[in-house]
């Protein structure tokens, strides 16, 4: 079991470009969570998805951010028209049912 | 709503000594999980220990143990025989057991190990 895989590990985008972050959950896990970690801060919840459904997106900014978890393939966190304030580490986590959620290594997004 | 509070932004401990990291939480759930996660400089999040709230016995994993006080809503992490590799951010977290919801994290405690 390869664990939660996130790619890319590092992503640099110019202001105004789009960022696409991918997360492949652990095998057998149907729950995926995305978190954002700003420098020196704790993790902030963004969105919780199950296959093909968004369960809770209360932590996701209303503009420019979207997430999906299709029936086949990885979960995608998409940030359109990135701004400097979007620079952060984005973590994906997966669980079969919440009994110990496992995290990926994160994607560090830098907006220049 | 659930909240998790870690009141110690930073702590230091001498190598081989014991250190306790504090965590308090608030939840309206009757059944829930509590977790401690470790985030080393690599930024990967590693599950250190998990406690089911219905269990009275404190969870233990090798040098890591918790002091779970359900009435006080306290969930502290004790690290015995501290090692240099224990240096990291530690996050306390809670999760409801019987319904789909999100994990709620505290802001973290940065642990320094002094050689």
Tens of pLDDT, residue by residue over B21-42, are: 999 999 888 888 899 999 887 7
> What's residue A40's pLDDT?
60
Beta-carbon separation of A105 and B50 below 8 A: no
> What's residue B84's pLDDT?
96
How far does A76 lie from chain B, in Å, by closest CA? 18
> What's residue B101's pLDDT?
67
Q: Which residue of A has its CA nearest to B110?
A: A40
Q: Which residue of B has its CA nearest to A89?
A: B43
Interface residue ranges in chain A relative to chain B, Cβ cutoff 8 Å: 31, 33, 35, 37, 41-43, 45, 48, 50, 55-56, 59, 89, 91, 93, 98-106, 108
Dig out the tokens for B56 from the structure.
Answer: 């009275």
- The answer to whether B92 and B105 are in contact (CB under 8 A) is yes
Chain B contacts of A48, Cβ < 8 Å?
A: 100-102
> What's residue A102's pLDDT?
81
How far does A106 lie from chain B, in Å, by closest CA? 7
> What's residue B99's pLDDT?
65
> What's residue B83's pLDDT?
97
> What's residue A3's pLDDT?
86
> What's residue A45's pLDDT?
86
> What's residue B41's pLDDT?
79
From the list A42, A104, A108, the residue facing B106 with the nearest CB is A42
> What's residue B28's pLDDT?
85
Q: Is the model's pLDDT at B90 over the cut of 70?
A: yes
B77 pLDDT band, cuts 50/70/90, is very high
> What's residue A99's pLDDT?
56
| Residue-by-residue DSSP string for B30-88 | SSEEEEEEEE-TT---EEEEEEETT--SPPEETTEEEEEETTTTEEEEEE-S--GGG-E
Where residue B79 falls (left for φ over 0; alpha for ψ -120 to 50; beta otherwise) is: beta
Interface contact B104, partner A, CB < 8 A? yes
Lowest-confidence range among A13-17, B58-62, B63-67, B96-100?
B96-100
* Rg of chain A over all Cα atoms, to the nearest angstrom: 13
Beta-carbon separation of B104 and A45 below 8 A: yes
From the list A45, A100, A105, the residue facing B47 with the nearest CB is A100
């Amino acid at each position: 079991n390869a664990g939660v895989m996130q790619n890319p590990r590092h992503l640099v985008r110019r202001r105004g470009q789009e960022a696409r972050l991918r997360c492949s959950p652990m095998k057998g896990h149907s729950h995926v969570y995305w978190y954002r970690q700003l420098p020196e801060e704790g993790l902030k919840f963004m969105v919780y998805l199950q296959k093909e459904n968004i369960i809770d997106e209360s932590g996701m900014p209303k503009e420019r951010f979207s997430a999906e978890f299709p029936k086949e393939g990885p979960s995608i966190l998409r940030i359109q028209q990135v701004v400097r304030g979007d620079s952060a580490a984005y973590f994906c986590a997966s669980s079969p049912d919440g009994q110990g959620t496992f995290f990926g290594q994160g994607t560090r997004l830098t907006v220049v | 709503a659930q909240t998790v509070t870690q009141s110690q932004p930073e702590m230091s401990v001498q190598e081989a000594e014991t250190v306790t990291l504090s965590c308090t939480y608030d939840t309206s759930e009757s059944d829930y999980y509590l977790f401690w996660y470790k985030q080393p400089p690599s930024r990967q999040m590693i599950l250190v220990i998990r406690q089911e709230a219905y269990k009275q016995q404190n969870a233990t994993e090798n040098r890591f143990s918790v002091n779970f006080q359900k009435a006080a809503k306290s969930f502290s992490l004790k690290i015995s025989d501290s090692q240099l590799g224990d240096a990291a951010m530690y996050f306390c977290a809670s999760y409801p057991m019987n319904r789909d919801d999100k994990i709620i994290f505290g802001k973290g405690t940065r642990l320094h190990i002094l050689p």
